[in-house]
């Protein structure tokens, strides 16, 4: 589903930019163009737009596996696309420019909004963007100036606390000081923001925080971008945090033309500040919206879907959905409860050995695990059983540089 959904969203965004081009032919081309050229360009966009739209719909209908679409309101004015992160929209520019003949300067990102409008917040347009290393260096300087020993409070721990606060959309004066250390971190957070402003710099979280602040504190700016973004589409809505939700709500509350895609059962990023309540409460916050459940699965067997459904059914407050497939039932699912990770590794190695003894190819066997930290025990069990293996998406434990140095 992920690949198909991404493709559909890319096609949808292309449709959005194409429709925007229809309304702004003169704006998205460099220099004046003759009426005949404008008419030809418009006809070219009109010719391909329905095909892209239909392909996006077909992709979703043939590859869906569980999430829902929510959308609210559609009018007759232009369409625009926006991205919530610094990177999520970057891959489209060249593609759109080539396929549609549109100048990428017509595409608006969050950073570009700040470059154009941030003077209202006391920054200049040429502000710097601090990465994690820049942030940690600044926090270390602040700790030293305050005489705080890093043995008692590390810069990285302060950075994590600030990140957590910003994911919740909280500035220093909005934090509750529960104890002495919390009060100390709040004070450091306030100094940190002052130093950022003095340096004319933002950190990554500020790209959203300051955009929301800009739109909330300056109604004229908000109205300008509401008029620019008439239709808003958000992917992976279950993984949005409170700041992202506020940004989307600000832009969409004027016209209500909002479509979000997500699956509350796939919300696994709460540790990053993701708030599953954003999708669970969508119908409450946007009364009258239409919900479309994409419940047909095209990849898994019905046995796997039933097993997965039985597990997630215990999630509290979830949206009820029933995944189904026309595929065969397939083999049964085995559930094995083991006392610890060592026994789990041995069980996996023994089971693979059994399958191999029954003439099953090792290439047909895969082990999935959630975090890289789990790989070491599994790898050791496979090595002890003389079972060769290949790792995808990670590095073998004994191939890591630090382990090689120790063993050498």
Which tokens belong to 227? 């008029």
Summarize pLDDT for 397-406 with one digit per residue, the tens.
767 777 777 7
One domain for residues 6 and 99:
yes
Residue 224, in any domain of the structure: no
Domain check: are 170 and 92 in the same one? Answer: no
CB 172 within 8 A of CB 193: yes
Distance of CA 404 to the CA centre of its chain: 35
In a domain, 303, yes or no: no
Whole-number Å distance between alpha carbons of 276 and 270: 8
Could you tell me if 59 and 193 lie in one domain?
A: no
Residues in CB range of 292: below 8 A, 6 or more apart: 68, 69, 70, 71
For 134, the domain range is 114-207
CATH number of the domain that 125 lies in? 1.10.10.160
pLDDT at residue number 392: 85
Neighbour-count burial for 91-130, b at 16+ CB within 10 Å, e otherwise: ebbeebbeebebeeebbbbbbebbeebbeebebeeebeeb
**Low-confidence residues in the chain, pLDDT < 50:** 1-5, 8, 11, 14, 16-34, 37-38, 41, 45-46, 48-49, 51-65, 69-104, 106
| 268-293 pLDDT tens trace | 777 778 899 999 999 999 998 999 99
Q: Which of 258, 275, 293 is the last residue of a domain?
A: 293
**Beta carbons of 138 and 195 less than 8 angstroms apart:** yes
* pLDDT at res. 73: 41
d(CA 264, CA 275): 10
Number of domains in the chain: 3
123 and 63: one domain?
Answer: no
For residues 8 and 90, membership in a common domain is answered with yes
- In-domain check, residue 288: yes
Domain C-terminal end among 263, 293, 323: 293
Q: Are residues 7 and 81 in the same domain?
A: yes
**Whether residue 203 is found in the same domain as residue 164:** yes
Domain annotation covers residue 91: yes
**pLDDT at residue number 108:** 57
Do residues 143 and 153 touch, judged by C-beta distance below 8 A? Answer: yes
Average pLDDT of every residue of the chain: 79
Contact 92, 103 (CB under 8 A): no
pLDDT for position 6: 52
Kindly report the backbone phi and psi dihedral angles of residue 169, in degrees, each rounded to the nearest multiple of 5, phi listed first: 80, 30
- C-alpha triplet 393, 2, 85: angle, nearest 5°: 85
């Amino acid at each position: 589903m992920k690949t198909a959904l991404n493709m559909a969203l890319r096609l949808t965004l292309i449709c959005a930019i194409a429709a925007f081009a229809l309304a702004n032919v003169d704006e998205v081309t460099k220099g004046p163009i003759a009426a005949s050229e404008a008419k030809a360009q418009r006809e070219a966009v009109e010719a391909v737009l329905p095909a892209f739209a239909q392909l996006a719909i077909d992709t979703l209908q043939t590859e869906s596996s569980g999430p829902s679409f929510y959308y609210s309101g559609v009018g007759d004015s232009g369409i625009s696309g926006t991205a919530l992160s610094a990177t999520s929209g970057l891959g489209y520019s060249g593609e759109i420019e080539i396929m549609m003949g549109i100048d990428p300067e017509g595409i608006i990102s969050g950073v570009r909004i700040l470059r154009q409008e941030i003077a209202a917040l006391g920054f200049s347009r040429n502000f710097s963007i601090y990465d994690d290393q820049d942030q940690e260096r600044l926090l270390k300087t602040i700790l030293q100036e305050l005489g705080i020993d890093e043995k008692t409070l590390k810069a990285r721990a302060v950075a994590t606390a600030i990140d957590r606060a910003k994911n919740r959309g909280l500035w220093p004066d909005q934090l509750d000081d529960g104890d002495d250390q919390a009060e100390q971190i709040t004070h450091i957070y306030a100094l940190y923001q002052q130093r950022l402003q003095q340096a004319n710099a933002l950190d990554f979280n500020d790209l959203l925080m300051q955009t929301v602040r800009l739109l909330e504190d300056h109604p004229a700016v908000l109205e300008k971008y509401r008029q620019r973004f008439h239709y808003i589409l958000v992917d992976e809505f279950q993984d949005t945090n409170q700041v992202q939700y506020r940004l989307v709500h600000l832009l969409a509350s004027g016209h209500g033309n909002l479509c979000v895609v997500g699956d509350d059962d796939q919300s696994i990023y709460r540790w990053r500040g993701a708030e599953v309540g954003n999708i669970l409460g969508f119908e409450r916050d946007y009364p009258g919206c239409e919900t479309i459940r994409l419940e047909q699965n095209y990849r898994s067997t019905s046995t796997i879907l039933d097993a997965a459904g039985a597990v997630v059914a215990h999630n509290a407050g979830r949206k009820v959905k029933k995944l189904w497939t026309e595929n065969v039932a397939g083999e049964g699912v085995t559930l094995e409860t083991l006392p610890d990770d060592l026994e789990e590794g041995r069980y996996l190695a023994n089971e693979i050995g059994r399958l191999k003894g029954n003439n099953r190819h090792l290439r047909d066997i895969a082990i999935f695990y959630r975090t890289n930290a789990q790989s070491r025990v599994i790898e050791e069990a496979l090595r002890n059983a003389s079972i060769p293996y290949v790792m995808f998406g990670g590095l073998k434990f004994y191939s890591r540089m630090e382990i090689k140095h120790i063993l050498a």
